[in-house]
Amino acid sequence: MTTLERLRVRLDIPQDATFAAGDGNNDVEMLTWAAHAVAMGDAPAAVRAVADTVTGTVAEDGLATALNAWLAKVR
């Protein structure tokens, strides 16, 4: 069990309420774990392949865009 999964269980967060964003190959496992996975716009192809969506780059405020869209859905 990963640390993220242990934390999710400890905090009693439903699995379908998990969100992760990443831009590097080291983020692939985290993105695979999350119910909603977002690759940043400048992420390599391997990261984009496991993500549910791809957002803008950091310079384009891609994370804020992705979070706003996800929060609008879950509210």
Tell me, what's the pLDDT at 74? 82
How far is residue 67's CA from residue 10's CA, in Å, rounded to a whole number? 23
How confident is the model over 2-50, as pLDDT tens digits? 899 999 999 999 999 999 999 999 999 999 999 999 999 999 999 999 9
How confident is the model over 38-57, as pLDDT tens digits? 999 999 999 999 999 999 99
Class of domain 3-74: alpha beta
pTM, rounded to two decimals: 0.91
Q: Identify the band that residue 69 occupies on the pLDDT scale cut at 50, 70 and 90.
A: very high
Q: Where are the domains of the chain?
A: 3-74
How far is residue 18's CA from residue 5's CA, in Å, rounded to a whole number? 10
Tell me, what's the pLDDT at 75? 76
How far is residue 59's CA from residue 75's CA, in Å, rounded to a whole number? 27
